[in-house]
A and B are shown apart, each in its own frame.
Chain A
Amino acid sequence: MTLALTRRPGLARLRAARQPLYLACLGFVLLVVLAALLAPWIAPSDPNAVDLGNVLAGPSAGHLLGADTAGRDTLSRLLIGARTSLIGPLGVVVFSTVAGVAVGAAAAWRGGWLDSVLSRSTELVFAFPGLLLAILIVTVYGEGLLAPVLALAIAYLPYVSRLTRSLVLTERERPYVAAYLVQGHSSVQICLRHVIPNIAPVVLAQSTVNFGYALIDLAGLSYLGLGVPALTPDWGRMVFDGQTAIQRGYPLSAILPCLVIVLTVVAFNVVGERWADQVARRDR
């Protein structure tokens, strides 16, 4: 089986050839997810509590990772911010996976004009920069997480649908599909019960990689001040807020969220690619 996940140029060379890197990345992913889930209970203080006595403070007992220009605790903001920063990409990935699988499977299975229409229109989306689409939609609909998530979901749909289409095309040539047809099962049933579950691991690997990219894009949008509302803790927003801190010589509150974003994206990439490799190597 040929497996080529779509990855961006800079990250394409990053492969989890060695077990430790994969395990470290998987561990980091789990850590971030756990932090997001448990954030309200483990955050040391209110992420929006302003402590003007400690503006731009360095790490101390009161503020483990220091405080930002408004004296808000960086650690708490990182932890609570993990929630918005992860729920956005999750929405993008869920939407784009479900819709992408539906579009790709329909195109591959029916073929003919439907394939042409679906493939050409998803390629059209490919040609249009996702971030630009998101900015456009946010400027029309105003602040909020839903608009950029939907926009990015549409932008990411072609990654999934193209992969699904090629996988379904190879999968449907397998004799077991013919066997089910001869048995009298309908095409839709065969597709839903057998073909899609068989290609699911690869699609999920692509979606895991997409998760990282969606996280960058959404963080970028928040950085531009689009997307999440001003007071919501969010990693991208924190980088934006931290700009003034850097100018004043206290970079910690901006660098930490940057670091978390980069590490999370890399971790999701490595994990996704590794899963795809495992599926490809698995003996069928």
Chain B
Amino acid sequence: MPDTVLEVTALQRTFGTVRAVDEVSFALAQGGSLGIVGESGSGKTTTARIIVGLDRPDAGKVLLHGRDRTERARGRAQRLARARQIQMVFQDPYLSLDPRTSVQAALRETLRLHFPDIDHARRIAELLDQVGLGSWAADALPRRLSGGQRQRVAIARALAVEPAVMVLDEAVAALDVSVQAQVLNLLADIREQTGIGYLFITHDLGVVRCVTDDVVVMRHGRIVESGATAEVLAAPRHPYTRLLLDSVPRPGWDPRQIAAARRAL
């Protein structure tokens, strides 16, 4: 069993009367890849926001290398240390980049904050190369780039911090299918090279099958099933997981039957 890098224990978050996240616990192995699957409103995005520190849990802990990071960061040093623990790639690459900031300026800003002493121009070229963008992209503004290219920039920006874990919140959902595959391949390559742990938040079982070792299935804020991706997808134990699998369109697929099964669940 490899070391655990990220551990989440008994996370809880309620909005009013809605339990968005309820007793969620899981662990991510060093250099591993964990998928969190669920439909809209299952609490997976709230979980992601709590893990990166954009939201705080009502109860429970997020531990990175055994250290708690649920308390609000105090001071600059702690804020930077937190950022180097976990980075995030957001769903919509059209909105997660400042429309006024060029690719180069965005990366330089991050590098200047975290690594003020290195040669920024060289590192930017390295990062762009790592995500499969040429140096031509350096001067481009986000609006000049396609969705896939923007998402690569967002990945480069997350990599610039050299985090231990990267949270990818529906990171390919907004891209069209052929570009999705390219970006997923890129992410797999990066994981191989750097050993960064991935936390994939997604509703897409195809993505889970491609890039994750383990999977956690969430519904109504609770974990209904978890285990190795291959096992869970091959032999789902929980009816909800089976429903999710059946909901993927394919030949002979009957949406009415799915809807009926969903009501019955």
| A278, chain B: closest CB distance, angstroms | 15
A181-B100 contact in complex given A174-B95, A175-B95, A284-B143, C-beta closer than 8 Å: no
Query: CA of A20 to CA of B99 in the docked complex: distance in angstroms?
Result: 31
A198-B157 contact in complex given A175-B90, A184-B83, A185-B113, C-beta closer than 8 Å: no
| B45, chain A: closest CB distance, angstroms | 11
Instruction: Name the CB-closest residue of B to A185.
Output: B113
A176-B54 contact in complex given A182-B83, A183-B87, A185-B113, C-beta closer than 8 Å: no
Chain B 71-105 residues near chain A, CB threshold 8 A: 76, 79-80, 82-84, 86-88, 90-92, 95-101
Contact of A186 with B by CB under 8 A: yes
B98 lies within 8 A of A182 (CB): no
A182 lies within 8 A of B92 (CB): no
B54 lies within 8 A of A175 (CB): no
A176 lies within 8 A of B161 (CB): no
| B9, chain A: closest CB distance, angstroms | 22
Instruction: Name the CB-closest residue of A to B52.
Output: A182
With a CB–CB cut-off of 8 A, which chain B residues contact A181? 53-54
Query: CA of A19 to CA of B93 in the docked complex: distance in angstroms?
Result: 35
With a CB–CB cut-off of 8 A, which chain A residues contact B161? 183-184
Per the CB 8 Å criterion, the residue count for chain A at the interface is 18
Query: CA of A284 to CA of B97 in the docked complex: distance in angstroms?
Result: 11
Contact of B114 with A by CB under 8 A: yes
Interface string of A167-185 (1 = CB under 8 A from B): 0000000111011111111
Query: CA of A40 to CA of B98 in the docked complex: distance in angstroms?
Result: 45
Query: CA of A180 to CA of B98 in the docked complex: distance in angstroms?
Result: 9
| A4, chain B: closest CB distance, angstroms | 22
Query: CA of A88 to CA of B86 in the docked complex: distance in angstroms?
Result: 52
With a CB–CB cut-off of 8 A, which chain A residues contact B83? 182-184
B79 lies within 8 A of A186 (CB): yes
User: How many residue-residue contacts, CB under 8 A, span A and B?
Assistant: 60
Query: CA of A30 to CA of B91 in the docked complex: distance in angstroms?
Result: 45
Contact of A197 with B by CB under 8 A: yes
Query: CA of A176 to CA of B97 in the docked complex: distance in angstroms?
Result: 5
Query: CA of A179 to CA of B91 in the docked complex: distance in angstroms?
Result: 11
Instruction: Name the CB-closest residue of A to B73.
Output: A184
Interface string of A109-124 (1 = CB under 8 A from B): 0000000000000000
Contact of B4 with A by CB under 8 A: no
With a CB–CB cut-off of 8 A, which chain B residues contact A184? 79-80, 82-84, 113-114, 161
A182-B76 contact in complex given A176-B96, A284-B99, C-beta closer than 8 Å: no
Query: CA of A194 to CA of B113 in the docked complex: distance in angstroms?
Result: 15
A198-B113 contact in complex given A183-B87, A184-B83, A184-B161, C-beta closer than 8 Å: no
| B166, chain A: closest CB distance, angstroms | 11
Interface-central residue, A175, A181, A194, by most chain B CB under 10 Å: A175
B98 lies within 8 A of A176 (CB): yes
Chain A 171-215 residues near chain B, CB threshold 8 A: 174-176, 178-186, 193-194, 197-198
Instruction: Name the CB-closest residue of A to B161.
Output: A183
B100 lies within 8 A of A194 (CB): yes
| A198, chain B: closest CB distance, angstroms | 6
A182 lies within 8 A of B53 (CB): yes
B76 lies within 8 A of A186 (CB): yes
With a CB–CB cut-off of 8 A, which chain A residues contact B157? 179, 183
With a CB–CB cut-off of 8 A, which chain B residues contact A284? 99, 143
Contact of B127 with A by CB under 8 A: no
With a CB–CB cut-off of 8 A, which chain B residues contact A175? 90-92, 95-96
A179 lies within 8 A of B113 (CB): no
A182 lies within 8 A of B99 (CB): no
Instruction: Name the CB-closest residue of B to A193.
Output: B109
Query: CA of A184 to CA of B92 in the docked complex: distance in angstroms?
Result: 20
Interface string of B145-157 (1 = CB under 8 A from A): 0000000001001
B100 lies within 8 A of A182 (CB): no
| B196, chain A: closest CB distance, angstroms | 15
B113 lies within 8 A of A183 (CB): yes
B54 lies within 8 A of A198 (CB): no
With a CB–CB cut-off of 8 A, which chain B residues contact A180? 98
Instruction: Name the CB-closest residue of A to B91.
Output: A175
A197-B100 contact in complex given A183-B110, A184-B79, A184-B83, C-beta closer than 8 Å: yes
| B47, chain A: closest CB distance, angstroms | 15
A182-B87 contact in complex given A174-B95, A175-B92, A176-B95, C-beta closer than 8 Å: yes
Residues of B within 8 A of A (CB): 52-54, 76, 79-80, 82-84, 86-88, 90-92, 95-101, 109-110, 113-114, 143, 154, 157, 161
Q: List 22 A-B contacts (CB under 8 A).
A: A175-B90, A175-B92, A175-B96, A176-B99, A178-B54, A178-B88, A179-B88, A179-B97, A179-B154, A179-B157, A180-B98, A182-B52, A182-B53, A182-B88, A183-B87, A183-B113, A184-B82, A184-B114, A186-B79, A194-B101, A283-B143, A284-B99
Task: Given A176-B95, A179-B90, A184-B83, output 15 extra A-B contacts at Cβ < 8 Å.
Answer: A175-B92, A176-B96, A176-B99, A178-B54, A179-B154, A181-B53, A182-B86, A182-B87, A183-B110, A186-B76, A193-B109, A198-B98, A198-B99, A283-B143, A284-B99
